[in-house]
Amino acid sequence: MKKSCGKKYGFLTAVILAALGSTGCTGGSREAVQTEAENENIVIGFSEVGAESDWRVANTESMRNTFTEEKGYELMFNDAKQKQENQISAIRNYILQAVDYIVFAPAVEEGWDEVLQEAKDAGIPVIIMDRMINTEDESLFTAWEGSDFYAEGVTAMEWLEEYLEEQGRADEEISILHVKGTVGATSQIGRTEGLENGVAAHENWEIAACLEGEYTQAKTYEVVAEYLETDTDIDVIYCENDNSAFGAIQALEEAGISYGVDGDVIIISFDATEAGLTACMNGQINLDVECNPLNGPRVEMIIQQLENGETPEKYSYVDETYFVPEDLTEDLIASREY
């Protein structure tokens, strides 16, 4: 499991060898060190975006449940609190500790080349999950797995077109309030592009305003409540995750504006977390587009391929669906893993 000492030293091995002198060549004890090293777990340095949303918490849980000691892993974890600089320093720390693999969900797409070059120079494979980086040099990472966020946005627009048709509102002027997720995150870029292309394809749809909800309930509540002070003639609020939808709903309720299945404002959301699907089942959210946070098993498959000397797919996408209230029951929601 553990790479042989000759190829790359694990942290513990490096410490022992350092204690034994630079080459560690002291006869028997070197064999002992190698034996010790060979029994070590696979050490994974994981840099997580933060704990900003129910989705993110489920994502972290999936990684912790997958990379357990019993299964031969040691998972080093860092919560970057949504700050790229914290992720970069965590990755540098993992390089120093000579982990076997670095896994991270990049908070934003830009600004990773330098630190990933350092990981490459240290011979540590980097696996990117969930969001993506923007780089000219694809050799800086071994594999990426996650969701197709643009496709999620397209799903929402196709549903909205159909829903409005069913409501006899196909030719009505539709005003959409757009609440973005963390600006510069792949999930924000993709879902926003899906919305913008959908609006461009419907001359009677318009985006009333673009607000930044940062994927959190608190920030979304703040910006939507402020917006509703100037304009309440909104037909749809497009929230780029469930926690933003909860914030928008909080602001609508305070403003006395009805929403959801029987209300004036259509709520579109993403993630389909347990809390989001419960609100959808109750008719508060009209559409919840799934974004699967169970990245642990998918990252493990990539690592196992690498451990076996195989080459994983460079990009692998997870299949996702969407939910409307009539799809949902408590049993269905309880049967899901997040």
Residues within window 73-102 making contact with Zn ion, judged by CB under 5 A? none
Shortest separation between residue 233's beta carbon and ligand GZL, angstroms: 28
Q: Least CB distance from residue 192 to Zn ion, whole Å?
A: 6
Binding site for ligand GZL (CB under 6 A): 52-53, 55-56, 130-131, 147, 185, 187, 215, 241, 270-271, 291
Which residue's beta carbon is nearest to the bound Zn ion? 210
Cross-strand pairs, 78: 47
Determine which helix (DSSP H) or strand (DSSP E) holds 282, and give its type and residue range. none
Q: Which two structure tokens, joined as six digits, stand for 182?
A: 């963390």
Give the tokens for residue 12: 């513990």
Residue closer to Zn ion, measured from CB, 125 or 181: 181
User: Could you say which of ligand GZL, Zn ion, none residue 131 binds, taking C-beta under 5 to 8 angstroms by partner kind?
Assistant: ligand GZL
210 counts as binding Zn ion under rule CB under 5 A: yes
159 touches, from ligand GZL, Zn ion, none (C-beta below 5 to 8 Å by class): none
Map 53-93 to HEC letters: CHHHHHHHHHHHHHCCCCCCEEEEEEECCCCHHHHHHHHHH
CB of 121 to ligand GZL, least distance (A): 28
Residue 54 class from Cβ within 10 Å (0-12 exposed, 13-18 middle, 19+ buried)? buried
d(CA 55, CA 335): 17
Are 175 and 236 within 8 A, CB to CB? yes
Residue 148 interacts with which of Zn ion, ligand GZL, none, CB < 5 to 8 Å by class: none
CA distance 315 to 163: 33
Residue (206 or 337) nearer to Zn ion, CB: 206
269 binding partner (options Zn ion, ligand GZL, none; Cβ < 5 to 8 Å by kind) = none
With contacts defined by CB under 5 A, how many residues of the chain interact with Zn ion? Answer: 2
Q: Work out how close the CB of 36 gets to ligand GZL at its nearest, in angstroms, rounded to a whole number.
A: 39
130's contact among Zn ion, ligand GZL, none, with CB below 5 to 8 A by partner kind, is ligand GZL
Specify the amino acid at residue 147: S
Q: Contact region for Zn ion (CB under 5 A) — 20-28, 33-41, 173-181, 288-296? A: 173-181
Q: Which of ligand GZL, Zn ion, none interacts with 210 (beta carbon under 5 to 8 A by kind)?
A: Zn ion
**Smallest gap from residue 281 Cβ to Zn ion (A):** 28
Length of the chain equals: 338
The binder of 178, among Zn ion, ligand GZL, none, by C-beta within 5 to 8 A per type, is Zn ion
Shortest approach of ligand GZL to residue 200 CB, angstroms? 23
| Residue 178 found at the interface with Zn ion (CB under 5 A) | yes
Integer Cα distance of 312 and 166 in angstroms: 44
Beta strands in the chain (DSSP E): 42-48, 73-79, 101-104, 126-129, 143-146, 174-180, 205-212, 236-239, 266-271, 287-290, 315-317, 322-323
For residue 176, what are the β-bridge partners?
Answer: 207, 236
Interacting residues with Zn ion (CB under 5 A): 178, 210
